[in-house]
Amino acid sequence: MTPDEPVRIPIEDSLDLHAFAPRDIPSVVEEYLEAARARGFSEVRLVHGRGIGTQRAIVQSLLTRHPLVASYADAPPERGGHGATIVRLRPPVRPGTRRRGSGGG
């Protein structure tokens, strides 16, 4: 495998980010959220670890402005606490329906 070759990850309800370099986390999380929603997940868990908070800050900064994210919060203690973030995804927009606030005034 070459450094530029994409890494295939299974799409489950949780993604452990420890294996990824901080510079790769935004693109990994972006692609994971899109794939998770396409698979029908309404909630996922991103495991970034406790450490000094660098990966947590990267993840939560991205989630703040991500269009697929309805909300996020630190995981409860039994699911990782400050070492993981629970993300609630927006439901897919069905064909023929409009999102609230999408014009039509």
pLDDT of residue 68: 96
pLDDT of residue 104: 46
Beta strand 69-74 with 84-89 is antiparallel
- The one-digit pLDDT tens for each residue of the chain (105 residues) are 455 666 666 788 999 999 888 899 999 999 999 999 999 999 999 999 988 888 899 999 999 999 999 999 999 999 999 999 999 999 877 766 555 554 444
Determine the topology of domain 14-89 in CATH: Ribosomal Protein S8; Chain: A, domain 1 (3.30.1370)
pLDDT of residue 101: 52
pTM tops 0.85, yes or no: no
